Amino acid sequence: MGGAYSPKELREKWQAYWEKNETFRAPNPGEPDFDPSRPKAYILDFFPYPSGAGLHVGHPEGYTATDIIARYRRMRGFNVLHTMGWDAFGLPAEQHAIETGRHPAVTTERNIATFRRQLKALGFSYDWRREFATTDAAYYKWTQWIFLQIFNSWYDDEHRKARPIGELPIPPEIAARGEKAVGAYVDSRRLAYLAEVPVNWCPALGTVLANEEVTSEGRSERGDHPVYKRPLKQWMLRITQYADRLAEDLDELDWPESVKLMQRNWIGRSEGAQVRFAIDGHPDALEIYTTRPDTLYGATYMVVAPEHPLVRKITTADHRAAVEQYCAAATQRSELARTAEAKEKTGVFTGAYAVNPVWPEGDARARIPVWVADYVLMSYGTGAIMAVPGGDTRDYEFAKVMNLPIVDVVYPEGVDPKGSLDDREAQIILRLAAKPVAREFLAPAMKAGRLFDLIGTAFVDDGRAANSPPADVKSADVCHLNGLPVFEAKRKITAWLEERGAGRAAVNYKLRDWLFSRQRYWGEPIPILHGPDGALVPLEESELPLTLPEMDDFRPTMRDEGDSSMPEPPLGRARDWATVTRGGKSYKRELNTMPQWAGSCWYYLRFCDPWNDKRFVSAEAERYWMVSLRKDGRPHTGGVDLYMGGAEHAVLHLLYARFWHKVLYDLGYVSTPEPFGKLFNQGMIRAFAYKDARGVNHGYDEIEFRDDGTAVLRETGEVLSAAVEKMSKSLKNVINPDDVVAEYGADALRLYEMFMGPLDASKPWNPRDVPGVFRFLQRTWRLIVNEDTGGLSSFVAVGADPVDPLERALHKTIQKVTLDIERMAFNTAISAMMEFVNEAYRVKSIRKDQAERFVIVLSPFAPHLCEELWQRLRGAAWTGSVSKEPWPAWDEKLVVDDEVEIPVQVNGKVVARMMIAKDADEPTVKSAALALPKISERIGDAAIQKTIYVPGRMLNLVVRS
């Protein structure tokens, strides 16, 4: 190429070079060019889902950041594993195939080709040899194999780890009942098991949906179809066994605290008590879990979920019709809609009464009504609650609607419920009031135990217990709690319940077992056979992969919106595939498929050894790439050194992957208890959306910008309103990276995305700012290359004075960029490099060795430009890559300034600033300050009473006013 800066030519030339020379090849242990003396760095992006729309400019943000780190680590002497693949199974791909009439295998491969082309165009330094998709049979063979390891394991609570199912102790009483009983017991302890559970069934999509895929209106997020709650036999993974470890081990991870908090909240560990409420006149009892057993004396009614199995049993005949009607309606609503805080509380009385175990037998307060209400969920706790309207906001709202009793059970700290309620106590109460209340009404309400009902709210905070039986009631059948702090009251009542067999201390989790099966075609087949006797038979490893059958009609069996019946999954139509004969017996294959999360649970392990057809990953490759050492020499908890992706995956993908990894760790297949040592969430790149006066959105191809930045319609000149929004087709604000690369080059796109602001911040894309970084790259090119001749520019000097003003600036730049890359502050690193180029133009000279060091430092950000500059600096015979060069060091002496700028104050107010020698003494600094015009003008003839000098920091002259 000639002398002009041509991003397109540079991109084509150097990407061809990288591919031909396998520049970013990461050799595995045992390969000829593997260097065991080098430390490793495993840099990984969240597995992308290849949608039909391709990339928009928001996608490359994280990929660019990890590529900068990967290139930088290579230059620092690391063996770097940095690669890319595709998370390609799942509902979106299948729905797109259904809508377009093309097989999902065809559309998926086409989408992958688009993503691959777009990513390669941006010059990411992936080891493309390791690329795979979750839809590759060679990959999902091992997804199925891992499922079978989970199926063939149980969780040993004593040792807190998974163990092979063959090591499960069989209780003698089970063994005595024969082989069938033993088989049922074993199946009940497996980490993968079948169970009938309430699910979100969408007839129009023909599949079960996760709660996260259902809107608050009870409709599918994709397609806006009705969703129904139905019991259905499903495959479940026993992730709840790992709840404590999943929560505890977060402390060992270098993750954003916000993500850790989201996972802890999702796991939802809480400590409380399990309490048994007998049903009056009925042999059954209701078990409830509560985190506030101290409030049992305020339980004035009970609520059960509409799906609770005891609803039908305990409902009396005169209430049956109303209860059945209510329960049927409740199943049409999503859990999110049912538990929304703003939702009006509804429910029906069952006609049954429960017995509160804290009241003596025969006490009228012990008999409390049992209601059915949809704000209680079967999926949390036991599906039943004791309702304490004086201490819980939802219970309070329900009690007010249904006119149920409300009793105070906890008072704020500093309020004596048996006292006279002085002014200080009254003020504490009134500050909590949800409505204005006259002071004189407080004491009577408190005496009646209805203070918080009077002020219009429940008291939900800690304080001291009240309204349990008073201390002068001498009976073993009551528990005296009045006046105790909440934590002490909890302990006392729990111990009291345990003594009487009415309850026990318990730990509960919001986390539910993972519903693992989907009634769709486009997913990994589950490698299980169903025997004629109902036995579950896992496939042998030699039978894997169990591939999907070729099907022209892969659509789910959909139903009309009003038909909520559940049809056979699509795989059931592949009759020859679905039935297997063994030993003269007919077996049925499992017809459900795995969810799209399955393949992304372990892909980071396969990247370590993607060609292995004997194991999912070799022990040697896994140990090398997944084990990192701390500074003290101890192994890190997690293996991937940097894992980057959006915060929207904070819970599901990251939690599921951690679960699978811990099972594999327990079984001895991997070396670390966690998969991802460091996690970073990049911020979202949004874009301006432009609307006209009618509210119609207009794309960038219809818009012009005035000098002041105002957007107007090109055809009419109408001024458009602008708002920063998430990119979407409907808003016409999607920016295709292909267009940016075509106009400004890949390096400009990479640089702009890193320059927009802090990496973890949400930022608006502004097309008017891209030319600015392009000009910086162009100026860098012209600094080194003569555009007329193609040789080195006149700025580049060979053998110049080794001590020149640019050397200090270069060392400061190297230091700044190095430290900023380490903390992923790429925007300030780019600013430093821009300042250096400005300085080079100011002094109108740059030594060749300085140019070389600067090019190395810029190369992770703008690799195409820097490869070409490096070759031109080294000469035409040079055939290497700048990416193989060592990272330059800085001289500590040259990054410390000889001079510093300090403020000069008069009577404590800054009047001027001046440069001084860093080691200047006070008389020298004072003399220089007095020579400043601003200082001499301010002081005039006034006498200086005192001089305050903080060396190298500030000077303050105190004068008589």
pLDDT value for 159: 96
| Helix or strand holding residue 79 (H, E) | strand 79-81
Q: What is the pLDDT of residue 337?
A: 73
Q: Which two tokens stand for residue 960?
A: 């008589």
Task: Indicate left, alpha or beta for 101 from its phi (over 0: left) and psi (-120 to 50: alpha).
Answer: left
In the chain, how many H helices and how many E strands?
Answer: 30, 37
Which tokens go with 576?
Answer: 């020859």
Domain 37-144+600-681 architecture: 3-Layer(aba) Sandwich (3.40)
CATH topology of domain 269-420+448-509: Isoleucyl-tRNA Synthetase; domain 2 (3.90.740)
Structure tokens that stand for 234 in this block: 């499903």
Rounded alpha-carbon distances, angstroms, from residue 530 to 386, 526, 544, 582: 42, 11, 17, 12
Closest CA to 200 of 519, 637, 576, 660: 519
Residue 797 phi, psi (nearest 5): -110, 140
Q: How many CB atoms lie within 10 A of CB 520?
A: 28
Please state the rounded mean pLDDT for residues 175-188: 95
Give me the mean pLDDT over the 789-798 stretch: 90
Span 201-227, average pLDDT: 79
Distance separating alpha carbons of residues 759 and 646, to the nearest angstrom: 11
- Mean pLDDT across the stretch 742-765? 96
Whether 227 contacts 202, CB under 8 Å: yes
Under the banding of pLDDT at 50, 70 and 90, the label for residue 542 is: very high
Q: What is the pLDDT of residue 633?
A: 63
* Residue 635: pLDDT band with limits 50, 70, 90: low
pLDDT digits (tens, 9 = 90+) for 63-80: 999 999 999 999 999 999
What is the predicted pLDDT for the residue at 636? 67
pLDDT digits (tens, 9 = 90+) for 587-608: 999 999 999 899 999 999 999 9
DSSP code at position 882? G
Residue 545 preceded by cis peptide, ω within 30: yes
User: Residue 300 burial (CB < 10 Å; 0-12/13-18/19+)?
Assistant: buried
Q: Looking at residues 461-475, what average pLDDT do you find?
A: 84
CATH number of 150-265+513-558+565-596: 2.170.220.10
- pLDDT, one tens digit per residue, over 547-597 is 999 998 888 876 555 555 667 899 999 999 999 999 889 999 999 999 989
Q: Identify the pLDDT of residue 869.
A: 97
**854-872 pLDDT, tens digit each:** 999 999 999 999 999 999 9
Answer yes or no: is pLDDT of 221 > 80.
no
How many angstroms separate the CA atoms of 244 and 512, rounded?
Answer: 13
Choices 1.10.10.10, 3.40.50.720, 3.10.20.590, 3.30.1330.30: CATH for 899-959: 3.10.20.590
Each residue's pLDDT tens digit, 122-137: 999 999 999 999 999 9
- Average pLDDT along the chain: 92
pLDDT at 866: 98
Domain ranges of the chain: 37-144+600-681, 150-265+513-558+565-596, 269-420+448-509, 686-735, 899-959
In whole angstroms, give the CA distance from residue 595 to residue 518: 6
Give the integer Cα–Cα distance in Å for 118 and 857.
Answer: 25
Q: What b/e sequence results for 409-432 when a residue is b if at least 16 CB atoms lie within 10 Å of its CB, and e otherwise?
A: bbbbeebebeeebeeebbebbeeb
- pLDDT value for 557: 73
d(CA 121, CA 60): 11
Confidence band (pLDDT; 50, 70, 90) for 430?
confident
In whole angstroms, give the CA distance from residue 393 to residue 459.
8
Residue 229 has pLDDT above 80, yes or no: no
Q: Which amino acid is at 750?
A: R
pLDDT digits (tens, 9 = 90+) for 152-169: 999 999 999 999 999 999
Enclosing H/E stretch for 950: strand 944-950
- The tokens describing 820, both together, are 């900023």
Q: Is 457 helix (H, G, I), strand (E, B) or coil?
A: coil
